[in-house]
Amino acid sequence: MACRRTRDKQDLVRLARHGDDVVVDWDQTAPGRGSSICPDLDCVEQATARDAARLRASLRGGTVDQVLCALTEIHHHLESAQHSKEHNA
């Protein structure tokens, strides 16, 4: 995690190395080596700014582009959820 805070597993978003690809494992059931990140825009942005070095090391594979693509997916999802929450408030 970019923030290095301790959280329960179910409160995190998991990335999984599945074969030669890195995917966002929203339901935390994908096989393969995994790494987690806080579902927080600041954490996702910090990881992206660092080229996701910790996540890639934890996944023991995956290209920079694959991990950054997964982080972009998470970022868009979080922004959309935040926008919906603000719109419904």
Confidence at residue 89, expressed as pLDDT on a 0 to 100 scale: 64
The region of weakest confidence among 40-44, 51-55, 65-69 is: 51-55
Task: Express each pLDDT in 55-85 by its tens digit.
Answer: 888 899 889 999 999 999 999 999 998 888 7
Task: Express each pLDDT in 15-39 by its tens digit.
Answer: 999 888 999 999 999 998 999 999 9
29 CB neighbour count, 10 Å cutoff: 8
Tokens of 69: 């693509």
In angstroms, rounded to a whole number, what is the distance separating the alpha carbons of residues 3 and 40? 9
pTM of this structure: 0.87
In angstroms, rounded to a whole number, what is the distance separating the alpha carbons of residues 39 and 18? 21
